[in-house]
Amino acid sequence: MQKLYNNENLIFLAIFGLNLLFLLYSVSNLSISFYEAEIYYEKQNLVSLLANLSCKFFGQNDFALRAPFLLIHFFNSILIYKISKTMLKRKLDRLISVSLYMFLPGVMASAILVNLAGVIIFFTLLAVYFSETRNNIALIITLLVTTAIDKSFVVLYVGAFLYGIYRKNKILSTISFLCFVSALLFYDFDIQGKPKGFFIDTIGVYSAVFSPFLFLFFIYVMYRIWIKERKNLLWFVCISAFCIASLLSLRQRVELDEFLPYAVVSVPLLVRVFFNSYRIRLPRFRTKHTFLVVVVMLFLLINSSFVVFNQILYPLFFKNEPQKHFIYNYDIAKELAQKLKEKQIYSVKAVDSRLGLRLKFYGIKASPNLYMSRIRPQNAKFSIKIYKFDTLVDKFYVF
């Protein structure tokens, strides 16, 4: 057992293997959402390219659709592990850091959904790793490459610019500023419209991504490092993302998928600050810290379980209003397509065009002769009911 513990890389792989099992189980219960179907069929970006290439080689199914993002999640976990090695001296601290990262609700969601979050995390961690290892040329190249990917990297440029000023690195601050300006010129940023407050909504989403108590600790760590501890690129990126998102949310709804990836990468900082505070105290004065860990891990376990075992929530909390379940938009379509095929129906016109695009992924084409709706028409031929744990989730009429 001691020999196994000494093999840090093997433990890392075991942790990732467990994480992967949970993620694969989650994928087995997912259907393609309209947002994902729109990316797959109609968008021309990196995410669409990855999803289409994977389905081309491995077949058009949910596992192939999400495989590239699971792979990116693996690379991101490796980068978190390597960054943790530069910031955390103890093996236990590093393993806790990477485990915490892998099982964050927001990270698990980004690993199984067709979205850009994993890509943002990858290049952000790559930039942080090059910064921690003093590889400035690779860091600058990484920043330049991201300008061709998406506007979401503007937060990375702000963080790198501030870090460059802090470290008196004129080259880094100049390149970061130029990347920031180029993003403003070539991408569309919506900061217009009538001011409305969405600050509470933003805080709520951050809490869901971390789990409530871990999010509170995130705020504490950002503040503590600001006033007391050594600041690195990772901290500048995390604090920039949180401050920008919070300020913008005071006047408009913020696209949080462009900011949240920069928050979850803060895990090594959270672990470092906690153990620094924990270990300077004598054992008899560690009770509060131990209690804090138990509470945080308990809520993290509950939130992460909701991501993995989301189907059981239908009968528990959404029996009367299943449409309010957070997973509903990523559900139903696959089961509906299977039931249609069981009735030898391979083409039907869904009155809900969004549903029609989702069904297209599962081989159900549009038909000019057969229609399907959630509202019962007078000439309905039959109905299709979708159940989850004996709970009626949706009902459709074919006519």
pLDDT of residue 269: 94
**Tell me, what's the pLDDT at 3?**
54
Mean pLDDT taken over the chain: 87
pLDDT value, residue 352: 85
pTM: 0.90
Residue with the bigger pLDDT between 248 and 95: it is: 95
Comparing CA positions, the residue from 44, 63, 40 lying closest to residue 52 is 40
Long-range residue pairs from 212-218, CB within 8 A, at least 24 positions apart, any chain:
212/299, 213/292, 213/295, 213/296, 213/299, 214/104, 214/270, 214/296, 214/299, 214/300, 217/270, 217/274, 217/292, 217/296, 218/263, 218/266, 218/270
Q: What is the pLDDT of residue 217?
A: 86
Question: 130-147 as b/e, with b when 16 or more CB fall inside 10 Å?
Answer: bbbeeeeeebbebbeebb
**Distance (Å, whole) CA 112 – CA 79:** 19
Instruction: Note the pLDDT tens digit of each residue in 71-122.
Output: 999 999 999 999 999 999 888 889 999 999 999 988 999 999 999 999 999 9
Residue 189, pLDDT score: 62
What integer pLDDT is reported at residue 192 of this predicted model?
A: 55
Report strand pairing: 371-373 vs 382-388: unpaired
- 251 vs 204: which has the higher pLDDT: 204
Which residue pairs from 18-22 have beta carbons closer than 8 angstroms and sit at least 24 positions apart in sequence?
Answer: 19/77, 19/102, 19/103, 19/108, 20/70, 20/74, 22/108, 22/308
Read off the pLDDT of each residue in 56-81 and give the average, rounded to a whole number. 94
- Mean pLDDT throughout 28-38? 92
More confident residue, 390 or 129: 129
**Tens digit of each residue's pLDDT (9 = 90 or more) over 152-163:** 899 999 999 999
Does pLDDT of 205 surpass 90?
no
Percent of the chain with pLDDT over 90: 45
What φ, ψ does residue 341 adopt, rounded to 5°? -65, -35
pLDDT of residue 190: 61
Q: What is the mean pLDDT of residues 300-327?
A: 85
More confident residue, 188 or 5: 188
Top-ranked range on mean pLDDT: pick from 86-100, 118-132, 250-264, 330-344: 118-132
Tell me the mean pLDDT in the region 211-230. 87
Instruction: Assess whether pLDDT exceeds 60 at residue 182.
Output: yes
Residue 343: what pLDDT? 87
β-bridge partners, 387: 392
Q: Are 109 and 141 in contact (CB under 8 A)?
A: no
Of residues 287, 274, 272, 310, the one with CA closest to residue 28: 310
Q: Which of 183-192, 211-220, 232-241 has the lowest mean pLDDT?
A: 183-192
Rounded (10°) CA dihedral 209, 192, 163, 237: 10
Segment 365-372 mean pLDDT: 85
pLDDT band of residue 307 (cuts 50, 70, 90) is confident
pLDDT-derived band of residue 5, with 50, 70 and 90 as boundaries?
Answer: low
pLDDT tens digits, one per residue of 285-303: 777 777 877 887 888 888 8
The full length of the chain comes to 399
Whole-angstrom distance, CA of residue 88 vs CA of residue 199? 34
